Amino acid sequence: MTPLVLTVIAPDKPGLVERLSQTIADNGGNWLESSMSRLAGKFAGILIVSVAEERAETLIEALQALESQGLRVIVARSPQYETSADSNNITLELIGHDKPGIVREISQALSRFNINVERLSTELVSGSMSAEELFKADADLTVPAGVDLDDLQQALEAIAGDLMVDITLN
């Protein structure tokens, strides 16, 4: 089986997931994993599909033909990815006052420790005591063995004085 990574975007309206899933099923694909959201009036998502190698091109063509119906699909073939045995999986949760560049600063801190972002979800939420917007992030990370999680937490907390960081080893 060949794994395909799909990125999809379209003006949000009912029936998009059904149209996408029907096209995948009609062409011998198997929907494995996905993350989809409505963002700024658009439907956006990423998913992994597996398909027999001999049917991959037909599926890719059918997915790309959905653009005529307003659903843009970008397809990338993907090799099977193996996580190093010399790594740990952690969950990172953080919240603090929003400021321009916060995602860049967090990603730079993670990069300095050679940490791979497996999943990242961010949002702005209203503060419980004030109307100020707070930046909230939730991430699954793969951390190389030997990285001190206390050092990582300190590096992240140094980004902003009010940034609260919670790291859980999975």
Q: What is the pLDDT of residues 80-90, one digit of tens each?
A: 656 567 899 99
On whether the CB atoms of residues 92 and 137 are closer than 8 A, the answer is: yes
Q: Are 137 and 93 in contact (CB under 8 A)?
A: yes
pTM equals 0.75
pLDDT of residue 43: 96
Average pLDDT estimate for 27-53:
95
Span 15-40, mean pLDDT?
95
pLDDT tens string 119-148: 999 999 887 777 788 899 999 999 999 999
Question: What are the structural domains, with CATH classification, of the chain?
Answer: 2-77 (3.30.70.260), 87-169 (3.30.70.260)
